Amino acid sequence: MLLIFDCDGVLVDSEPLSCAVDADLLTRLGFPITVEAVQERFVGKSLRDMVAAIEAEYGRALPADFGDRLTRETLARFETELEPIAGVREAVLSISQRRCVASSSTPERIALSLRVTGLADLFEQVFSAVEVARGKPAPDLFLHAAARMGAEPEGCVVIEDSPYGVAAAHAAGMPVIGFTGGGHCGPGHGAVLREAGADAVIASMDDLRATVAAVAARPLC
């Protein structure tokens, strides 16, 4: 079995930081948006998809260097403020199966996130949405990760915190565990993940090992 972990909101508690940076930069550039709106609309989506949605909404293009500026400001916050999800290192190490990361973030952001939080050594490979044509909720990234790792979709279990990520895993034919322990998750987030297709939902990494075993044992519908 192969475990495929999302990064933001599953391994690292990055979403409150990154949503704040997104909202601040977009607003400064004349595309006003609240942190709450960024969180609701774009958590789990790729930068490419967020840019396309913002430009379509306002009918004009973002500056050509928007992606570079956003990356610089986000990584600067991460260097000093980013924390791992509570208990995640112990939880991952308690599971013997092969594991990788498949994230909507850029390779640079994923690498820094795992380095700063001391998690980089836990995973065989890391995959980014920049490697595929379509980001989540399309299944492309998870199918790409499985293929590169030599695993069949039904032999994978995905751990995700966003409805887009859960939908992507479901579309890929992979069992998926929804995680609601990130700082951006409100009290109704578990229901949202279940509606998107999560096979199980956990709020603490203490429950990861048992839930992986239970979900992997279920027959696929």
Q: Could you tell me the pTM of the whole model?
A: 0.85
Band of pLDDT at residue 220, cut at 50, 70 and 90: low
Looking at 29, 60, 81, which one is the last position of a domain?
81
Question: pLDDT-based confidence at 217, cuts 50/70/90?
Answer: confident
| CA-based nearest residue to 166, from 191, 188, 148, 130 | 191
One domain, residues 87 and 108: yes
pLDDT-based confidence at residue 188 (cuts at 50, 70, 90)? very high
Residue-wise pLDDT for 9-62, tens only, equals 999 999 899 999 999 999 999 999 999 999 889 987 888 899 999 999 999 999
CA angle 64, 67, 73 (to 5 degrees): 125
- How confident is the prediction for the chain on average, in pLDDT? 94
Domain boundary among 56, 81, 106: 81
pLDDT of 8 reads 94
Please compute the mean of the pLDDT values over residues 150-170 and round it to a whole number. Answer: 96
Cβ count near 77 (within 10 Å): 14
Confidence band of 133 (pLDDT split at 50, 70, 90): very high
The pLDDT value recorded for residue 219 is 72
**Residue 159 and residue 91 share a domain:** yes
DSSP strand E in the chain: where? 2-5, 98-103, 126-128, 156-160, 176-179, 200-202
Q: Say whether both 168 and 191 belong to one domain.
A: yes
As a whole number, mean pLDDT of residues 170-199 equals 94
Enumerate residues 6+ apart whose C-beta is below 8 A from 171: 137, 138, 139
- Residues 80 and 76: their CA atoms lie apart, in Å, by 7
**Do 46 and 104 belong together in one domain?**
no
Domain range enclosing 40: 15-81
Residues 117 and 162 both lie in one domain: yes
The 10s digit of each residue's pLDDT in 59-108 is 999 999 999 999 999 999 999 999 999 999 999 999 999 999 999 999 99
Query: At residue 221, does pLDDT exceed 60?
Result: no
- Answer yes or no: do 92 and 143 share one domain: yes
